[in-house]
């Protein structure tokens, strides 16, 4: 989503949910796209679909250990994760989190931690939003229907690199679906209607 | 603001007019006079708790009492979701499609580019129709039969077979995110649209798309967070009964 960061909050305590929302609303570029209480039976599926950039998680509201929960998401989505932690919680609850917001933190401390880790103070203009020529090549292949493997073979890249490029393309353009990318490619004459045939 | 049964329906709508399509689904229309919510429910024969909970959930994204919502019978949700489907398919999406068409006709520039957007939207409509069809043909009838079987304590071979063929986890896995393309469309219009000469019409399209997105979010939230867990619980009950 361009330079915005999508956020989900997983916290059972509604006061904390609302409080965190209010604190986040004072920071630039953060958009909350989901609130959960942690007991949703299909939570990992929903999170995978939403693919947030940042996740705030209170491990106490999960019915499995946080490490197991995070393992289920590994490889599918890769958000920046903050633990929402009670100061008195045992170390075993805190340990899965490199980034921690403690209940005793004041507003300033919380905002500083988030701002530091999320680079919210960066000037958005120093990060070019236009596609590189490599990205344009990959975009063309994607809209023509090639798989990641086929693109990797063609360009002598690893599948992983192709996927990274695709993520960057989606981010820069703010477009997630292949059909959306087709519209972009057509409007910018990167491909022609004939190239796409009946795909669109 | 929490909406409660003693509030006048009119005050609620004046406070949040985006609720109008929601109350329409329940058969409540504008020109509602001075009745309060509980009187409205009596008049239209509605489930009062269900009605107010749905209004609150739509009005305030932080308000989503899962336990309470899951305690309502599944048939209330099926009925509500089905009416929402009709609204999306027969009103909202044709409305946006019509607006796009009109906008292109009134454009003196970039018609070709805009026609691509129109195509994208038509494509989206078709996909959305398929999505809804699966829910209405496969999922909802199963949910209703399952609830009935449990309520009447009659486990028929039919329901056992349905359970084996298409358990709710299957639906959960193939339940696509229908908001994704709407998200793309917003970005395409705001970021990538070749500069139009009729901003007002494009703004109108954009506003409608934002409304649609909000309504779809709420719709999917009920399907994903209420209906699916509820049916899972019912399936567990069914499994227990089948084991006996
Ligand atoms: Fe639906
Ligand atoms: Fe759906």
pLDDT tens by residue, A73-104: 988 898 999 999 999 988 888 888 989 999 99
Residue range(s) in chain A whose domain bears CATH number 3.40.50.2300: 5-118
Q: Encoding tokens for residue A6? A: 């999508």
- Distance from the alpha carbon of residue B135 to the mean position of ligand 1, in angstroms: 6
Of A37, A173, A186, the CB nearest to B116: A186
Residues from chain B that touch A20, judged by Cβ atoms under 8 A, are none
Q: Read off the pLDDT band of A126 (50, 70, 90).
A: very low
Closest-approaching ligand to the CA atom of B140: 1
Residue carrying structure tokens 């942690």:
A38
A183 vs A2 pLDDT, higher one: A183
What is the reported pLDDT for B177? 86
What whole-number distance in Å separates Cα of residue B101 and Cα of residue B115?
8
The DSSP H or E segment spanning B75 is: helix B74-86
CA distance B113 to chain A (A): 5
Break chain B into its structural domains and give their ranges: 9-63, 73-243
Of A45, A46, A175, the CB nearest to B188: A175
What whole-number distance in Å separates Cα of residue A68 and Cα of residue A76?
14
Q: Read off the pLDDT band of A49 (50, 70, 90).
A: confident
What whole-number distance in Å separates Cα of residue A186 and Cα of residue A192?
6
- Distance from the alpha carbon of residue B86 to the mean position of ligand 1, in angstroms: 10
- Whether B181 and chain A come into contact, CB under 8 Å, resolves to yes
The complex's ipTM? 0.86
Residue carrying structure tokens 């002598």:
A156
- Which of B121, B123, B169, B192 is the mutation pick for testing A, counting most A CBs within 10 A? B192
Q: Encoding tokens for residue B185? A: 């469309």
What is the reported pLDDT for B60? 87
Residues from chain B that touch A39, judged by Cβ atoms under 8 A, are 66
Nearest CA in chain A to B225: A40
Tell me the residues of A at the B interface, defined by beta carbons under 8 Å apart. 1-2, 14, 17-18, 21, 35, 37, 39-42, 45-46, 49-50, 173-177, 179-180, 182-184, 186-188, 200
What pTM value is reported for the model? 0.84
Average pLDDT, chain A: 89
The CATH code of domain A131-199 reads 1.10.10.10
Positions of E strands within A134-195 = none
What whole-number distance in Å separates Cα of residue A159 and Cα of residue A165?
10
State the CATH architecture for A5-118. 3-Layer(aba) Sandwich (3.40)
Residue range(s) in chain A whose domain bears CATH number 1.10.10.10: 131-199
The DSSP H or E segment spanning A34 is: strand A30-36
3-state helix, strand, coil in chain A (%, to 5): 50, 15, 35
Contact across the interface for B181 and A187, Cβ inside 8 Å: no
What is the reported pLDDT for B17? 96
Contact across the interface for A35 and B117, Cβ inside 8 Å: no
- Whether B65 and chain A come into contact, CB under 8 Å, resolves to no
User: Which is nearest to B146 in space by CA: B49, B82, B72, B73?
Assistant: B73
Residue carrying structure tokens 């896995």:
B173
CA distance A176 to chain B (A): 6
Strand partners, A85: A102
- Which of B184, B192, B221 is the mutation pick for testing A, counting most A CBs within 10 A? B184
Contact across the interface for B188 and A184, Cβ inside 8 Å: yes
What whole-number distance in Å separates Cα of residue B145 and Cα of residue B74?
10
- Model confidence at A122: pLDDT above 80: no
Mean pLDDT, consecutive 10-residue stretches, chain B (244 aa), reads 94 96 96 96 96 94 87 96 96 96 92 93 95 96 96 93 93 90 94 91 96 94 93 94 86
Strand partners, A6: A31
What whole-number distance in Å separates Cα of residue B142 and Cα of residue B153?
16
What whole-number distance in Å separates Cα of residue B241 and Cα of residue B87?
38
- Which of B187, B222, B232 is the mutation pick for testing A, counting most A CBs within 10 A? B187
What is the reported pLDDT for A1? 42
């Amino acid at each position: 989503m361009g330079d915005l960061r999508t956020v989900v909050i997983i916290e059972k305590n509604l006061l904390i949910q609302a409080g965190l929302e209010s604190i986040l609303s004072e920071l630039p570029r953060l958009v909350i796209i989901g609130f959960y209480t942690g007991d949703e039976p299909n939570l990992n599926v929903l999170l995978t679909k939403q693919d947030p950039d940042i996740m705030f998680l209170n491990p106490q509201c999960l019915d499995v250990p946080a490490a197991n929960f995070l393992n289920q998401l590994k490889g599918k989505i890769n958000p920046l994760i903050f633990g929402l932690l009670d100061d008195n919680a045992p170390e075993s609850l805190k340990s899965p989190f490199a980034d921690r917001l403690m209940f005793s933190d004041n507003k300033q401390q919380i905002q500083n931690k988030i701002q530091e880790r999320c680079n919210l103070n960066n000037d958005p203009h120093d990060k070019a939003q236009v596609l590189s020529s490599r990205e344009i090549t990959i975009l063309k292949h994607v809209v023509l229907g090639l798989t990641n493997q086929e693109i990797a073979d063609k360009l002598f890249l690893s599948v992983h690199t192709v996927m990274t490029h695709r993520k960057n393309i989606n981010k820069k353009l703010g477009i997630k679906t292949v059909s959306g990318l087709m519209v972009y490619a057509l409007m910018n004459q990167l491909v022609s209607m004939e190239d796409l045939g009946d795909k669109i | 603001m929490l909406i409660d049964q003693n509030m006048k329906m009119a005050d609620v709508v004046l406070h949040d007019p985006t609720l109008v399509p929601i109350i329409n689904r329940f058969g409540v229309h504008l020109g509602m006079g001075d009745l309060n919510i509980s009187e409205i429910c009596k008049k239209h024969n509605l489930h009062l708790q269900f009605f107010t909970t749905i209004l609150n959930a739509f009005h305030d994204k932080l308000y989503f009492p899962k336990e309470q919502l899951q305690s309502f019978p599944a048939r209330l949700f099926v009925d509500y979701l089905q009416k929402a489907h009709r609204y999306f398919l027969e009103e909202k999406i044709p409305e946006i499609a019509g607006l796009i068409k009109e906008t292109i006709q009134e454009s003196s520039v970039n018609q070709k580019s805009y026609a691509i957007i129109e195509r994208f939207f038509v494509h989206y409509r078709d996909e959305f129709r398929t999505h809804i069809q699966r829910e209405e043909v496969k999922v909802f009838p199963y949910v209703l039969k399952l609830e009935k079987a449990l309520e009447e304590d009659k486990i028929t071979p039919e329901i056992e077979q349905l359970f084996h063929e298409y358990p709710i986890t299957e639906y959960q896995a193939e339940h696509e995110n229908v908001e994704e393309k709407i998200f793309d469309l917003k970005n395409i219009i705001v970021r990538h649209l070749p500069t139009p000469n009729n901003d007002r019409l494009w703004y109108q399209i954009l506003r409608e798309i934002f409304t649609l997105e909000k309504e779809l979010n709420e719709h999917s939230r009920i399907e994903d967070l209420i209906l699916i867990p509820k049916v899972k619980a019912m399936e567990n009950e069914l499994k227990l009964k089948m084991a006996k």
